[in-house]
Structure 1
Amino acid sequence: MTDRSTRPTPAYGSRDPDALARRAGAQANPDRDQHFLVDDRVLDRLPAYLPEAADTSHLLEIGGGAGALTDRLLAHASDGTDDPATESPSGRVTVVERDPAFASFLRTEFSTAVETGALEVVEGDALDVSLPSFSACVANLPYGVSSAIAFRLLPTGRPLVLTFQAEFADRMVASAGESAYGRLSVSAQHYADVEIVERVPKEAFDPQPAVESAVVRCVPREPAYTVDDEAFFLRFVKALFTQRRKTVRNAIRNTAHISGLGAPEAVVEAAEESRLSQRPGDLSPTAFAALAQLASTHGVPEADPS
């Protein structure tokens, strides 16, 4: 066996995903929501989907696995002072990995980057650990918790390139009136312009998931409307979409226990008939915001019931 210390260290961005998996000595476990992206072409494209003007000085990755994407992010991380004569990134990468075996492997495989401060490996659940003040995030998210992680990342106001199940991605980007449009669409689009930039087949992963996947780019921006209470707005959207087949009038009346409205009937009386007769799935984010503002004025929302 070749002594690792005598092997030439490959330049960042050139490591083979299959070779990384072999060196890690452990396979991805679908029972633990592990489906590692192994297609070199897709891996190479992911960092490039960040907006052209994105700050890449501190990139965040959720779920590093055997490090195929970590390798590409190290090659992409830059604070604008990179010396083309060297192969070392001037920026840095933080990767969050909950599996102790893979976290340990990442520290070993990228030991030079760890020693120079170019890479930090945080072992733990991305829903529980303290996240750094990253400049952008590129990640192949664990699908079982992708929604929870996405809504931890979106409010940070940073560019995101995230891989999701295709059905989830379709709901994120859907517009009012489309069948996929729902709470997820309104909530995601409240924080950012979201678009699907690539669809990824099952064969790009190991082990293969049961569904197709898609890469979503989220570019942060202020919404085209104003809400005085963001938490209430998001709760109000959630509430009405639990009654998506009802009219907005009945949805407001039936979901006060979710939205926290103290006087739902007052909201119904104050709202325009044209809006009340629609279904929640027909309301644009701007229309939801206007209705939420009216509800917070006339409905006297109580403390968050959660």
Structure 2
Amino acid sequence: MRDPDGLIARAGVRGDPDRDQHFLVDDRVLDRLPTYVAEIDADASHILEIGGGTGALTDRLLALGDADEGDRVTVVERDRDLAAFLRREFADEIDAGRLTVIEGDALEVDLPDFTASVSNLPYGVSSEITFRLLPEKRPLVLMFQQEFAERMVAEPDTPEYGRLSVSTQHYADAELVESIPKEAFSPPPAVQSAVVRLVPRDPEYEVDDEAFFLRFVKALFTQRRKTIRNAIRNTAHISGLEEPDAVVEATDEEVLRKRAGAMAPEEFAALARLAADVSDLHDGQ
């Protein structure tokens, strides 16, 4: 395997916290990341990596696949110099058709039809990238700030539980598989990191309008200290409800007395279906 520090030296770069660049340099962590895909027997024939950096993880992802079977990796890197370095460093793998380097912003480029993603995400846009990947319904192993990761996997009635928890778990089973110390990166970030494994599955509840469901959850959590009764009434400008009072009238008193942090995802789904049935919708922002 390529040495992470050697890759940084050959690239002639240093991580830049101001540009959200923290290179993962701990060999043990780098070696473990691909195993979180292998453990669930996920299809590794086309791995997508967001934020390739100097290629330390890219190298290990290439080793995860079977060259004889045509397994390959696509890496997206927004930094022009780093993308050019990856093309030089991995020229043989690119020539063999095993690696594709896409230079550009992961929120804007066309993503390939990947089978799984393993990525050390840029933390500043980790949420936006994650919610671009989740609807693809592929296994994901992603690095986040520890606090963000804990919110993704949180259960109802815990301090960490919120909109992020419900939205994430709508798409996948979420598991925090490893916490990563600051020292595993160069330069060390200000906070500890964590790896979350996301295994896609259909929710155990029905959602007629997914966009409205997610918007409705967002709206109610903006008033998480209020009862559901008040949150419905106060957030119609976000949820898009034309008749929030009609929704309140149609909702069980037991639900109205709850707060968003105590509502399980299936309860949000049932309430969203009811709200859509009894109130006209407009395009909430």
Distance 2:40 2:250 in 1: 45
Task: Indicate the SS of the match to 1:244.
Answer: coil
Does 2:18 match 1:43?
A: no
- Post-superposition offset of 1:109: 0.3
Query: Aligned partners of 1:250, 1:305: CA distance in 2, in Å?
Result: 18
Structure 2 partner of 1:67: 55
Kindly indicate whether residue 280 of structure 2 is the aligned counterpart of residue 305 of structure 1: no
Unaligned runs of 5+ in 1: 1-13, 84-88
Match of 1:196 among 162, 176, 192: 176
Question: What is aligned with 1:58?
Answer: 46
Provide, for residues 171-208 of structure 1, a one-character-per-residue CA deviation record: whole Å limited to 9, x for no partner. Answer: 00001100000000000000000010000000000000
Query: Following TM superposition, where does structure 1 have runs of at least 4 consecutive aligned residues deviating by more than 3 angstroms?
Result: none
Is 1:237 aligned with 2:224? no
Distance 1:63 1:31 in 2: 15
Matches of 1:209 and 1:38, distance apart in 2:
13
Query: Which of 236, 241, 245 pairs up with 1:256?
Result: 236
2: CA distance, partners of 1:93 / 1:69: 11
2: CA distance, partners of 1:74 / 1:158: 18
Structure 2 Cα separation of the partners of residues 22 and 34 of structure 1: 15
The match for 2:75 is 95
Q: Distance in 2 between matches of 1:20 and 1:213?
A: 22
Higher CA-based Rg? 1
Aligned length: 284
Q: Secondary structure at the match of 1:49?
A: helix
Which amino acid counterpart does residue 188 of structure 1 have in structure 2?
Answer: T
Instruction: Quote the offset at 1:52 in angstroms.
Output: 2.6
The question of 1:26 aligning with 2:6 is answered no
Q: Quote the Cα distance in structure 2 between the aligned partners of 1:301 and 1:181.
A: 27
Aligned to 1:118: 98
Matched residue SS, 1:96: strand
CA positional deviation for 1:299: 1.6
Shift in Å, 1:305: 2.8
Distance 1:126 1:207 in 2: 22
Taking only aligned residues, the RMSD between alpha carbons, in angstroms, comes to: 0.9
1:8 corresponding residue in structure 2: none
Matched, 1:272 2:260: no
Displacement of 1:77 in angstroms is 2.2
Map of 1:108 onto structure 2: 88
Look up the equivalent residue of 1:62 and give its one-letter code. Answer: I
Structure 2 equivalent of residue 287 of structure 1:
267
SS at match of 1:161: strand
The alignment's TM-score, normalised by the length of structure 2, stands at 0.98
Identity rate, percent: 67
Shift of 1:53: 1.9
